[in-house]
């Protein structure tokens, strides 16, 4: 299929930017003809082009996978659009009425769209599990921590906690460091701290993950704590944003949370990512939505065609009915005319019958006179 993938920005690494890159590459790997669109090019768009995915050049696409309502509004004339909503707070993530279908990356987002009257399919943030994979085993006990938090306040707090227990601390803030090959840093550590896609990347790399950060739009420190089989569904409900558990920590309770680290938990993270966060499966889900749209479009077209045929047949039946009615009226008129002609024939018969009786009497008289004349002539001859 010819598919266009769009995102509002592709300047530098970020949640939706990395998602768009991952989605486009997997679509291409699965054999589709893929192009991209963005309002602002940069590092990520350059990476897409290096991977053989060009900027939008077509006038029509089989399918458009768009993040952000601005992209939907721009691309809606070019084909069927599935809008992926990555959150419910940012303005860019609000659903556009111009989209043909919607994808929510969490149940929280799905509920938000539903409150606005839009149904959606949940497809969690897809991760390239071949790129994000374990490159070395984790340590038997916690020796190093990588913070992917996006606030200096959170990073300072985590650094202090790590130093107090003698654990190596690393951090990468996308707003200041903007590291593309973040999988390399993730594989240097045993445990990763962050929210959303950062947590998923770390799980795919087979690392323990602690959900925690301070975000300005949330206005407070939030987290789900160490991600485990017991709390993962609660955390996923809100895209591992910390809004699921809404846990708050002081230094003592945070260090206790770090103490939940185990290599077994790291192995579980990898297995969970392969099963639930793999971009290969996410792409298949998108294609399934498209196929449903195609079926729906064909059904609507068939329904429209059937409607046209039914209207045509109804007009023909109505015309035939009107023609039959006209024929019935003509038959009735003809019957009246035949009745009139029959009456005229009866009248003629009566007249003819009277006239015939008179003619018969005259013929009989003439015959009688003729006989008498013959008799008289015979008598004269004999005499």
String of DSSP letters for 321-333: HHHHHHHHHHHHH
How confident is the model at residue 369, as a pLDDT? Answer: 66
How confident is the model at residue 178, as a pLDDT? Answer: 79
Range of weakest confidence among 11-20, 40-49, 144-153, 218-227: 218-227
How confident is the model at residue 172, as a pLDDT? Answer: 93
Q: In this structure, what DSSP letter does residue 123 have?
A: -
Q: From CA 172, how far away is CA 155, in angstroms rounded? A: 9
Range of weakest confidence among 13-17, 140-144, 269-273, 311-315: 311-315
- Is domain 2-123 in CATH 1.10.940.10, yes or no? no
- 167 neighbors 145 (Cβ within 8 angstroms): yes
Q: From CA 265, how far away is CA 343, in angstroms rounded? A: 111
Average model confidence (pLDDT) across the chain: 87
pLDDT, tens digit, 9 for 90 and up, residues 344-365? 656 655 654 555 555 556 556 6
How confident is the model at residue 246, as a pLDDT? Answer: 84
Share of the chain above pLDDT 90, in %: 67
How confident is the model at residue 359, as a pLDDT? Answer: 56
Share of the chain above pLDDT 70, in %: 77
If one compares 199 and 242, the residue with the highest pLDDT of the two is: 199
Shortest CA distance to 15 belongs to which of 73, 94, 90?
90
Average pLDDT over residues 245-265: 93
pTM (predicted TM-score):
0.76
Q: Is the pLDDT of residue 329 over 90?
A: no
How confident is the model at residue 71, as a pLDDT? Answer: 97
CATH number of 144-279: 3.40.50
Q: How confident is the model at residue 216 (pLDDT cuts 50, 70, 90)?
A: low
How confident is the model at residue 327, as a pLDDT? Answer: 65
Q: Is the pLDDT of residue 339 over 90?
A: no
What is the layout of strands, in order, in the sheet containing 191-194?
Answer: 168-171, 144-147, 191-194, 208-215, 220-226
How confident is the model at residue 242, as a pLDDT? Answer: 87
Average pLDDT over residues 227-254: 92
Radius of gyration of the chain (CA): 46
Q: Specify the domain boundaries for CATH 3.40.50.2000 within the chain.
A: 2-123
Q: How confident is the model at residue 244 (pLDDT cuts 50, 70, 90)?
A: confident
Q: Is the pLDDT of residue 82 over 60?
A: yes
Average pLDDT over residues 144-163: 94
Q: How many CA atoms lie within 13 A of 99 on its CB side?
A: 27
pLDDT, tens digit, 9 for 90 and up, residues 92-142? 999 999 999 999 999 999 999 999 999 999 999 999 999 999 999 999 999
- 121 neighbors 104 (Cβ within 8 angstroms): yes
């Amino acid at each position: 299929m010819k598919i266009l993938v769009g995102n509002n920005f592709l300047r530098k690494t970020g949640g939706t930017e990395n998602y768009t890159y991952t989605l486009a590459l997997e679509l291409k790997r699965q054999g589709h003809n893929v192009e991209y669109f963005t309002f602002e090019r940069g590092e990520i768009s350059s990476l897409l082009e290096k991977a053989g995915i060009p900027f939008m050049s077509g006038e029509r696409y089989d399918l458009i996978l768009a993040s952000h309502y601005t992209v939907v509004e721009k691309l809606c004339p070019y084909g069927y659009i599935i809008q992926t909503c990555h959150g419910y707070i940012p303005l860019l993530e609000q659903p556009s009425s111009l989209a043909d279908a919607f994808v929510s990356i969490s149940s929280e987002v799905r509920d938000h769209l539903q409150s606005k009257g839009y149904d959606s399919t949940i497809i969690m943030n897809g991760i390239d599990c071949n790129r994000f994979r374990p490159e070395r085993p984790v340590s038997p006990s916690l020796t190093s921590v990588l913070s992917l938090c996006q606030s200096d306040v959170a990073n300072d707090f985590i650094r202090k906690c790590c130093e107090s227990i003698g654990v190596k601390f690393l951090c990468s803030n996308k707003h200041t460091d903007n590291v593309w090959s973040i999988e390399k840093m993730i594989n240097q550590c045993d445990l990763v701290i962050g929210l959303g896609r950062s947590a998923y990347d770390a799980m795919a790399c087979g690392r323990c993950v602690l959900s925690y950060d301070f975000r300005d739009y949330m206005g407070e420190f939030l987290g789900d704590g160490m991600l485990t089989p017991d709390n993962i569904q609660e955390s996923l409900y809100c895209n591992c944003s910390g809004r699921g558990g809404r846990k708050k920590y002081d230094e003592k309770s945070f260090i206790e949370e770090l103490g939940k680290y185990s290599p077994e938990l790291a192995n579980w993270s990898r297995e969970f990512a392969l099963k639930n966060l793999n971009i290969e499966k996410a792409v298949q889900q998108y294609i399934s939505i498209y196929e449903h749209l195609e079926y729906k479009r064909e059904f609507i077209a068939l329904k429209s065609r059937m409607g046209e045929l039914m209207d045509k047949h109804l007009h023909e039946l109505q015309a035939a009915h009107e023609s039959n009615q006209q024929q019935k009226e003509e038959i009735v008129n003809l019957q009246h005319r035949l009745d009139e002609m029959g009456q005229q024939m009866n009248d003629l018969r009566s007249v003819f019958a009277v006239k015939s009786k008179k003619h018969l009497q005259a013929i009989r008289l003439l015959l009688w006179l003729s006989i008498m004349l013959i008799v008289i002539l015979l008598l004269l001859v004999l005499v």
